[in-house]
Amino acid sequence: MDNEKKLVQELLKLDGIDPAVISDTERAAFREMLDSEQKRIKRISWCITGMIWIFAIAMLGLCFSEKALNALHIPFAAALLIAIVAIYAAIIPLVMRLYNKLTAGKKKAIHLEKLVHGSRQSSGLVLVGI
């Protein structure tokens, strides 16, 4: 973790930004980047959710279309096998790729939040003792 923090500080210094003191214009730029990253994260999570719903509806459709499959002389087991192969070939790799983008975006958003809000944000519950 220390190496990552040092790398981030060095990259900021190379960009001409002092990591200890961030001006208001730089903070506003980071805030814009944070907003766009949060919108991107939301879009990706909706895509993943949509794909899962499409998969669920397709499976339900397959289960309820057994009569149609019999009329077309397609065995239910063959249709189920085709559906499973399609899931493994198309849906799962795409969801995993989107999930990787989502986790990378969340890490970037956390870093941008630290730059926008400084080190003031707590990472958990604040315990107050009297």
Question: What's the mean pLDDT in 2-30?
Answer: 72
Instruction: Give this prediction's pTM.
Output: 0.58
Distance CA(14)–CA(9), nearest Å, equals 9
Distance CA(110)–CA(113), nearest Å, equals 5
- Report the 10 Å Cβ neighbour count for 37: 20
**What does the pLDDT read at residue 31?**
82
What are the helix (H) ranges across 15-130? 24-64, 66-71, 76-86, 92-117
What value does the mean pLDDT of the chain take?
78
Distance CA(60)–CA(37), nearest Å, equals 35
**What does the pLDDT read at residue 76?**
79
Instruction: Report in angstroms the alpha-carbon separations of 100 from 29, 107, 124.
Output: 25, 11, 25
94: which 2 tokens?
């795409």
- For the cut 60, the answer to whether the pLDDT of residue 7 exceeds it is yes
Q: How confident is the model at residue 90 (pLDDT cuts 50, 70, 90)?
A: confident
pLDDT digits (tens, 9 = 90+) for 19-71: 666 777 877 887 888 888 889 889 988 988 888 888 888 878 877 887 787 78
Tokens 């198309």 found at? 90
Question: What's the mean pLDDT in 107-125?
Answer: 68
